[in-house]
Structure 1
């Protein structure tokens, strides 16, 4: 079983792993601590591997029967993703979201942690180990900004705006050339487009109202489950490109987050599909 009060225990595990395995390695990676996975921009570091191991062991010690789906573990066992749909309790981890930025010394990365109960995301955490700040949400209880100094504030998405006044991003790195060019051209219809190559920071910005929309074509659960719940609990609207809800285990269909349904439809029509 998982209760709202258990979220504090999960947050402690995330923070401990970040302070022990991630933060000390930032801008201090040595030769042999960075490896390519599929390409020169798809990387893994010792910070990813050791922090995921730390969190996995701590979660399994506290919840022995829970499924733990870490990004690096799923690299070697894709069946873990399918098990998300049926698991009574699961934890989904992206230990260092934004690994390319991390290894390059850019402080634009974070740790994502989602709690899934019987196929539904019930809690989400995005932790910034550089500043020690965290976004946290429990389903039906809103989303909060927890500062390192202990200050807690509710968060809210941006007010709806016309597309020409919106700021946002659609992640296009994995698209074929012509598709990348089409979507990038459509982004010129907005006030400003940006790209951080980090889902954690993108969800942070859209959930706290600093930008209007974010969109992705890849749907790996460790990239999106925590952020989607936080965004929804902050008052936003998120759905796959076909309008269906995003659920644990979904891997296709694209995903888009915006302040409300009308804004979502405008971005989908004018940027994703135009």
Structure 2
């Protein structure tokens, strides 16, 4: 089992391109051929009318669950569909083994509708710390990567989030109010303030990419499932951004966070969003 930061760094230096290839292959084999071609029997609902799963989700995760541990012996996979089948498997995120955190199709509703706003998310974490991430949007032709301490890249080019332009409203993507507790609803209402322009979020992975690219100023999310956030949070941080929970501390992928939380283009914006979220509660 790989146990040290140095050995993980060595693995990433040698095998990051292989991880990228595995992500691209999973999408090419299992996701893209089903995009805009889904039959009714290939779409199911899990816990509610908005919680969809497709054969693309299942088969892409199955592909990655087979391929990623081959690259890193001793590692395990925590994927959205695997955890749905066995909730106890989520606990591996807090264990000693390196963990691949996988969302095979982030933005399943958009995927089912035939829209381009979906992506595949993969993150590599060790003892609760995300060390690398891959965000692949095949319909958009975009691949973003990040390695802790080594920066973020989009299609091989350095990615920097920058700071919001002075004098205009902050653009913030938020959780939909239908999927929040009463306290979280009150917190999100804090974003209805002068100088802020909130809107409902789409694919979490693509919203994080938009922050890292400087196209969106911040997010404000109220759920903490690691497969939705691990890859994007590292991408934003390595692009020069910042992330904070409503408690004023960084988000922990193990869970137990004070929600909502934010990822933003810079630290000042992150602190401003947290202040707004806290003021309304």
Tell me which of 186, 203, 212 is aligned to 1:207: 212
1:237 matches 2:237: no
Matched residue, 2:5:
none
State the shift of 1:179 in Å: 5.3
State the shift of 1:64 in Å: 3.6
Matched residue, 1:67:
76
Tell me which of 198, 201, 205 is aligned to 1:193: 198
1:23 matches 2:27: no
- Listed as ranges, the gaps of 5+ residues in structure 2 are 3-7
Structural mapping, 1:1-274, within 5 Å: 1=2, 2=8, 3-5=11-13, 6-146=15-155, 152-161=156-165, 165-172=169-176, 173-176=178-181, 180=185, 183-184=188-189, 186-187=191-192, 189-190=194-195, 192-254=197-259, 255-271=261-277, 273-274=279-280
The CA RMSD over aligned residues, in Å, is 2.1
Could you tell me whether the CA contact under 8 Å between 1:163 and 1:266 is conserved in 2? no
Quickly say closer, same or farther: Cα 1:179–1:244, change in 2 above 3 A: closer
Could you tell me whether the CA contact under 8 Å between 1:123 and 1:139 is conserved in 2? yes
Alpha-carbon distance between aligned partners in 2 of 1:269 and 1:170, rounded to the nearest angstrom: 15
How many residues are matched? 269
Deviant stretches of 4+, over 4 Å: 161-164, 176-179
Quickly say closer, same or farther: Cα 1:132–1:87, change in 2 above 3 A: farther
Greater CA drift, 188-197 or 137-146:
188-197
Greater CA drift, 248-257 or 25-34:
248-257
State the shift of 1:239 in Å: 1.8
Alpha-carbon distance between aligned partners in 2 of 1:44 and 1:215, rounded to the nearest angstrom: 24
Deviations 1:50-106 (A, max 9, x none): 000001011133334211000010112222222212233110000000001110111
Matched residue, 1:149:
none
Could you tell me whether the CA contact under 8 Å between 1:136 and 1:143 is conserved in 2? yes
Greater CA drift, 52-61 or 178-187:
178-187
Could you tell me whether the CA contact under 8 Å between 1:163 and 1:189 is conserved in 2? no
TM-score when scaled to structure 2?
A: 0.88
- Listed as ranges, the gaps of 5+ residues in structure 1 are 147-151
